[in-house]
Chain A
Amino acid sequence: MDLGEINPVLLVASLMVAATPLLLAAIGELVVEKAGVLNLGVEGMMIVGAISGFAISVETGSPWLGFVAAAIGGAVLSLLFVLLTQVALANQVASGLALTLFGLGFSALMGQSYVGVKPPSMGDIHIPVLSDIPVIGPILFQHDPILYVGIALTAAVWATLKYTRVGLILRAVGENHDAAHALGYKVIKIRVMAILFGGACAGLGGAYISLIRVPQWTEGMTAGVGWIALALVVFASWKPWRALLGAYLFGGITVLQLNLQAAGVAIPVEYLAMSPYIITILVLVILSADKSSAPAALGRIFHASH
């Protein structure tokens, strides 16, 4: 055993990569939940994003177009959720689960001819000067562009929710849709936009796995990241920066336990693997004292009775 073999700089750098798909999906879901909608179909939207992005970037040779396609793919799938929950007023829990089932199957059908294909590489950005700074350079300034997009998106969502009118309306809709409706806000329209945004973000997260982190296409390759993203939103108590922190924590625990194993530390892997979930439950318990954090209308169906 030699803990000295673990290089903390590289560890932090690689946990940032591991955390990015989680972060992208979680930020999207955070906005959805802030609008009072619980979409459990994150995994389905991610995997559809993963194959859409993969297919388009292989066909066009451009990873950037791939990511655009992934966002569109995720959003299109979330449109089904919109139809079910906002138009047909179906239960959100059941609709989200159905969405995941459908997405997993649909992505597998789409991806049949892409197994064993290597996608074009996006490459890392080495920001001149900054990336050469010791310690901070490799941690912060030598990543792929999408990782920065994830962080930028977090900042944007935070600022929008906190300082803009759109954010205010979104939160109002999520807290009390009847009151928001009475004030003249278009509850359904706002929720639809939020769900589509969530779908696009999940799609990006999925494509990050299939285009950058792995990169390859195989059926079911998101392997449960979408579900972890759901946990992450709660862990973050619906606050964007905490989602970033949480994503690093969730991603970090995996990377850390692998690091400890490689360094020869005998650790009970199963117990470490369950720790993020247990921590999330503890956070939930602590948060439940603070009633203001969860959107009050989360998961409830809205129908404007004129």
Chain B
Amino acid sequence: MKFKSLLTTAAIALGLATGAVAQDKTKVGFVYVGPVGDGGWTYEHNKGRLAVEDHFGDKVETVFVESVPEGPDAERVMTQMALEGADLIFTTSFGYMDPTINVAQKFPNVKFEHATGYKTADNVSVYSARFYEGRAVQGHIAGNMTKSNIIGYIGSYPIPEVIRGINSAYIHAKKVNPDVEFKIVWAYTWFDPAKEADAATVLIEQGADVILQHTDSTAPQAAAQEAGNVVTFGQASDMSEYAPFPRVSSIIDDWAPYYIARTQAVMDGTWESANTWDGIREGMVAIGEITEAVPADVKEEALALKAAMAAGEYHPFTGPLKKQDGSDWLAEGETADDGTLAGMNFYVEGLEGEIPQ
């Protein structure tokens, strides 16, 4: 333990030394789990980084390392950034959680921001987006657009983030179309465009005429386009190359406002550890343009739903809601607390099938 503190002191001393040299410029580091060319998750984080550069110009310097495996490699990359004098480091994958905490302990003067995790410290914030708000809008449009009453849903892995999205979309589709049925397929991969294409094709063949995806490639869009009469939504990025049809709208991860605000806070010395879970209101979740393929009244309702969430007047998980097994979850007017949502591992009533364990 003594040795550890020795290293820490050495690191702090060095950190201070380099910090003094680079005082004029704020240095912001980004650790990415995929390549910036993945067209999805990492691509959007990198857009956020570029926005920070645009916004602050000469006042910041950003650095990034892409395709960093979770585990010791991530820990090393973060340490390296901290040693090189980064003031603020964004670590953009759930699997970076423990490495972020470890490195943060060694560099108390460097601020860390971990995406989608749940462990915080004095110099570690966590941030994530309420994508389920976007899913509510999608569910609303999907429920109106489907003629077969079958909506296909492509999930990556059965984790709370994905399950939350399924529930939110289902609740809002059901609201406008009581006969709606969800078909859920787990791809068991974060990234395999060919498999996503297969999954979309399968859902279409089994009668789905709306496809929702929680995977990042445009493969399902292409499959829908080929089928001709299937509606899709962009995921992670706008996927506007498939607009106006089959892609009728999208959920966009927009990290730029958050990244700019947090960088500003570091510059001003006002940065504090926080647990941020932002949604449509703060602009972290954006709804891509709803195209003319959607009937005008549906579009209007969808925009009204979005506006209600943006104003904080409406929560997508508002009671009365029951769990899949029929047990009560939320009473009339009650809204779900963030703790339950964060660890969501159950379907709401009406969804069929089991969550794979």
Known: A5-B206, A209-B193. A269 touches B186 (CB 8 A): yes
Report the minimum CB–CB distance from A128 to chain B (whole Å).
20
- Say whether B38 faces chain A, with CB atoms less than 8 Å apart: yes
**Interchain residue pairs with CB less than 8 A apart (21):** A6-B206, A18-B198, A21-B194, A108-B37, A115-B37, A115-B38, A214-B218, A215-B222, A216-B193, A218-B191, A220-B191, A221-B194, A223-B193, A255-B198, A255-B202, A262-B202, A262-B203, A262-B208, A264-B353, A269-B188, A270-B188
Partner of B39, one of A18, A115, A224, A268: A115
Report whether A223 and B185 are in contact in the complex, using a CB–CB cutoff of 8 Å. no
Known: A214-B219, A214-B222, A216-B193. A108 touches B198 (CB 8 A): no
The interface size of chain B toward A, counting residues with CB under 8 Å, comes to 42
Alpha-carbon distance A264/B354, docked complex (angstroms): 9
- Say whether B183 faces chain A, with CB atoms less than 8 Å apart: yes
- Say whether B35 faces chain A, with CB atoms less than 8 Å apart: yes
Alpha-carbon distance A23/B193, docked complex (angstroms): 18
Residues of B within 8 A of A209 (CB): 193-194
Report whether B356 and A213 are in contact in the complex, using a CB–CB cutoff of 8 Å. no
Report whether A262 and B193 are in contact in the complex, using a CB–CB cutoff of 8 Å. no
Report the minimum CB–CB distance from B264 to chain A (whole Å).
29
- Say whether B51 faces chain A, with CB atoms less than 8 Å apart: no
- The 0/1 profile, CB within 8 Å of B marked 1, for residues 215-244 of chain A is 110111111110000000000000000000
Report whether A117 and B241 are in contact in the complex, using a CB–CB cutoff of 8 Å. yes
Known: A214-B222, A261-B184. 7 other contacts (CB 8 A): A115-B43, A116-B43, A220-B35, A261-B185, A261-B186, A262-B206, A269-B356
- The 0/1 profile, CB within 8 Å of A marked 1, for residues 185-204 of chain B is 11111011111111101110
Report whether A216 and B198 are in contact in the complex, using a CB–CB cutoff of 8 Å. no
- Say whether B54 faces chain A, with CB atoms less than 8 Å apart: no
Report whether A213 and B217 are in contact in the complex, using a CB–CB cutoff of 8 Å. no
- Say whether A259 faces chain B, with CB atoms less than 8 Å apart: yes
Residues of B within 8 A of A264 (CB): 183, 352-353
Partner of A254, one of B35, B198, B242: B198
Report the minimum CB–CB distance from A24 to chain B (whole Å).
13
Residues of B within 8 A of A115 (CB): 37-39, 43
- Say whether A112 faces chain B, with CB atoms less than 8 Å apart: yes
Alpha-carbon distance A115/B184, docked complex (angstroms): 28
**Nearest CB in chain B to that of A123: its residue:** B226
- Say whether B207 faces chain A, with CB atoms less than 8 Å apart: yes
Report whether B353 and A258 are in contact in the complex, using a CB–CB cutoff of 8 Å. no
Q: Which residues of A contact B (CB under 8 A)?
A: 5-7, 10-11, 14, 17-18, 21, 108, 111-112, 115-118, 209, 213-216, 218-225, 254-255, 258-259, 261-264, 266, 268-270, 273
Report the minimum CB–CB distance from B151 to chain A (whole Å).
11
Partner of A11, one of B38, B205, B218: B205
Partner of B199, one of A6, A17, A111, A258: A258
Report whether B241 and A118 are in contact in the complex, using a CB–CB cutoff of 8 Å. yes
Known: A116-B237, A264-B353. A223 touches B37 (CB 8 A): no
Residues of B within 8 A of A220 (CB): 35, 191
Report the minimum CB–CB distance from B175 to chain A (whole Å).
23
Alpha-carbon distance A282/B241, docked complex (angstroms): 45
Report whether B38 and A219 are in contact in the complex, using a CB–CB cutoff of 8 Å. yes
- Say whether B152 faces chain A, with CB atoms less than 8 Å apart: yes
Known: A255-B202, A270-B188. A218 touches B194 (CB 8 A): no
**Nearest CB in chain A to that of B352: its residue:** A264
**Nearest CB in chain B to that of A269: its residue:** B188
Report whether B35 and A213 are in contact in the complex, using a CB–CB cutoff of 8 Å. no
- The 0/1 profile, CB within 8 Å of A marked 1, for residues 169-189 of chain B is 000000000000001111111
Known: A214-B194, A214-B222, A223-B194. A14 touches B202 (CB 8 A): yes
Residues of B within 8 A of A118 (CB): 218, 241-242
Report the minimum CB–CB distance from A193 to chain B (whole Å).
30
B43, B192, B206: which has the most chain A beta carbons within 10 Å? Answer: B206
Residues of B within 8 A of A219 (CB): 34-35, 37-38
Alpha-carbon distance A201/B108, docked complex (angstroms): 54
Residues of A within 8 A of B206 (CB): 5-7, 259, 262-263
- The 0/1 profile, CB within 8 Å of A marked 1, for residues 324-357 of chain B is 0000000000000000000000000000111010
A17, A213, A225: which has the most chain B beta carbons within 10 Å? Answer: A213
- The 0/1 profile, CB within 8 Å of A marked 1, for residues 238-278 of chain B is 00011000000000000000000000000000000000000
Report the minimum CB–CB distance from B225 to chain A (whole Å).
9
Interface hits, B36-85 → A, CB 8 Å: 37-40, 43
Report whether B38 and A7 are in contact in the complex, using a CB–CB cutoff of 8 Å. no
Report whether A218 and B39 are in contact in the complex, using a CB–CB cutoff of 8 Å. yes
Report the minimum CB–CB distance from A110 to chain B (whole Å).
11
Alpha-carbon distance A261/B354, docked complex (angstroms): 10
Residues of A within 8 A of B189 (CB): 223
Report the minimum CB–CB distance from B59 to chain A (whole Å).
27
Partner of A262, one of B40, B152, B241: B152
Report whether B202 and A225 are in contact in the complex, using a CB–CB cutoff of 8 Å. no
